[in-house]
Amino acid sequence: MTEKYCKTCDATKPIGDFWKGQSACIPCSKHKQKTCWGSRTPLKRLEQHLKYKYGISHAEFSKAWGDQSGNCAICETELPDLMVYDNRRRGYAIDHNHETGEFRGILCLKCNSLLGMASESTDVLQSAIKYLTARGSYAAARKKGK
């Protein structure tokens, strides 16, 4: 295949006019980047992400952020700046009920993984607490060492 169709400009062009894996030709892709993506600031991207993925407004998110003092809702460690992306990762998770879609709070990535690994089961998490209490935990040992 030496040619490819660009849906954006409605033209068939040589394959060399396309970036690998792109459906739009290079000129159309560059135009999109300048006109569409250039106007999407980190704040605008966050607002759109919150609206479309979680159905909440930036105001609702900001209120939760303030109520949590910018910390994880579970372990209370300080969360990274909302507008800084390190290697395209946000550094925090927007926690929500996967059945209802209801927004619950903002978590660090470790605590979000903890809930996911426990399948959001309070029984599993309570069993883990009993286990660590009975058999000792790293966190308890650290507190004694202070």
Question: What is residue 70's predicted lDDT score, i.e. its pLDDT?
Answer: 92
- Structural domain count of the chain: 2
Q: For residues 29 and 73, state if they share a domain.
A: no
Question: How many whole angstroms separate alpha carbon 124 and alpha carbon 87?
Answer: 33
Report helix, strand and coil shares of the chain as percent, to nearest 5: 45, 15, 35
Q: How much is the pTM?
A: 0.63
Quick one: 90 exposed, middle or buried, by C-beta within 10 A (0-12, 13-18, 19+)?
A: middle
Considering the domain architecture, whether residues 47 and 70 belong to the same structural domain is answered as yes
22: containing domain: 3-39
pLDDT at 19: 86
Q: What is the pLDDT of residues 26-77, one digit of tens each?
A: 999 888 777 765 556 777 777 888 888 888 998 999 999 999 999 999 999 9
pLDDT at 32: 79
Within this chain, do residues 23 and 88 fall inside the same structural domain, yes or no?
Answer: no
C-alpha 111 chain-centroid distance: 13
- The yes-or-no verdict on residue 143 having pLDDT over 70 is no
Q: Give the pLDDT mean for 11-24.
A: 89
Write the pLDDT tens digit of every residue in 92-137: 889 998 888 889 999 999 999 999 999 999 999 999 999 999 998 7
- 88 with 66, same domain? yes
Do 35 and 100 sit in the same domain of this protein? no
Q: How confident is the model at residue 14 (pLDDT cuts 50, 70, 90)?
A: very high
Quick check: is 80 in a domain? yes
Same domain, 56 and 88: yes
